[in-house]
Amino acid sequence: MNAISPKQTLELTVTERIEEPGNIIRLRLASPGGEPLPPFTAGAHLDIHLQDGGLDLWRQYSLCSDPATNTAYEIGVLKDPKSRGGSEAVHRLATPGARFRIEGPRNHFPLEESATRTVLFGGGIGITPMLAMAQRLHALGRDFTLHYCTRSAGITAFRSMIAASPWADRVVFHHDDEDEAQRLQLPRDLPQPDAGTHLYVCGPQGFMDWVISSAEAMGHAASHVHREYFSADVDTTGESFEVEARLSGITVTVGPEDTIAKALARAGVKIEVKCEEGVCGTCVTDVLEGTPDHRDQFLTDSEKEEGSMICACCSRACTSRLVLDI
């Protein structure tokens, strides 16, 4: 059998649905014909198209399976009542035999495999990319620790998967409802800064901000503190401004409650948007003139300072006009 090209859109079938604690499902996805899947690297995610009646969304889910395996992908999905419909649709639609249109795998959260020491921090469903990283680090024989934080042991997903792994002794569980010594304590659990040490964090925004700010305050270089946001609280409102799509010859006004992507779409200039929260990077567009008001969690601090790119789904302008290279 020939492997599916990693550049093409995939149609994958749910071959297994595993109910995990904490309102999380683990899905195994494979090619309907059994062809090998495109390879992926630890930290990668899939873009999944969700269609159901009036629902038409793209959502991103991290791969938690072993990057060395190409027969199936595994993802974990939390049913989040505060979501905008994506996670509930996955829980409703992803029954064995169901098919989904998928793009990827893509990786905006790559693992630095040459690090001499790696410390992973997963909060809640943010554990999913860390599971793939742990499997890869174990295969490489690297020194690593995985801190897994949840509200309580009873709603901690993937425990059986971790217990059966050969790297289970590298995982430290932290639960909010247990004694203080067992909870995550960053002064104790963060390693000392070192040129060969890399940190990875994924989970709720407050958890991530806490870990990142604590690590950087301790002296860890920002370039060694890697992060991936699954969602973000983003304010897309502000003063009106103009956007020129130079290649398209179109200029629009982005109103106080509007976004760049929506204003341009009404004028016939389509920017692909998937997450709508500035976390996935799909809508990143080059800026030719003007100063962006960055509202996203995708671009790095240095990229934001450079001001040559913008996430058009949520960010705005500090100047009265932006010129985009589209």
Q: What is the pLDDT of residues 183-236, one digit of tens each?
A: 999 999 999 999 999 999 999 999 999 999 999 999 999 999 999 987 767 889
For residue 273, what pLDDT band results from cuts at 50, 70 and 90?
Answer: confident
Reported as a single tens digit per residue, the pLDDT across 86-130 is 899 999 999 999 999 999 999 999 999 999 999 999 999 999 999
Q: What mean pLDDT value characterizes the chain?
A: 93
What secondary structure, in 3-state letters, does 61-121 show?
EEECCCCCCCCCEEEEEECCCCCCCHHHHHHHHCCCCCEEEEEEEECCCCCCCCCCEEEEE
> What pLDDT is stored for residue 6 in this prediction?
46
Give the tokens for residue 279. Answer: 């976390």
Reported as a single tens digit per residue, the pLDDT across 277-314 is 888 888 999 999 999 999 988 888 888 999 999 999 99
* pTM given for the model: 0.83
Lowest mean pLDDT, pick from 46-55, 148-157, 309-318: 46-55
In this structure, CATH architecture of domain 117-229: 3-Layer(aba) Sandwich (3.40)
The helix or strand, by DSSP H or E, that contains position 129, with its residue range, turns out to be: helix 127-140
Which of the pair, 80 or 109, is modelled with greater confidence? 109
Q: How many CB atoms lie within 10 A of CB 258?
A: 19
> What is the DSSP-derived secondary structure letter of residue 82?
T
> What pLDDT is stored for residue 302 in this prediction?
85
Q: Identify the burial level of 173 via C-beta atoms within 10 angstroms of its C-beta, where 0-12 means exposed, 13-18 middle and 19 or more buried.
A: middle
- Check if CATH label 3.30.70.380 holds for domain 10-106: no
Instruction: Give the pLDDT mean for 252-260.
Output: 95
C-alpha 51/C-alpha 256 separation (Å) is: 30
Instruction: Give the pLDDT mean for 252-269.
Output: 94
Amino acid at the residue 21: P
Residue extents of the structural domains in the chain? 10-106, 117-229, 241-324
Q: Annotate 259-270 with DSSP letters as a single string.
A: -HHHHHHHTT--
Q: 241-324 in CATH: which number?
A: 3.10.20.30
For residue 47, what pLDDT band results from cuts at 50, 70 and 90?
Answer: very high
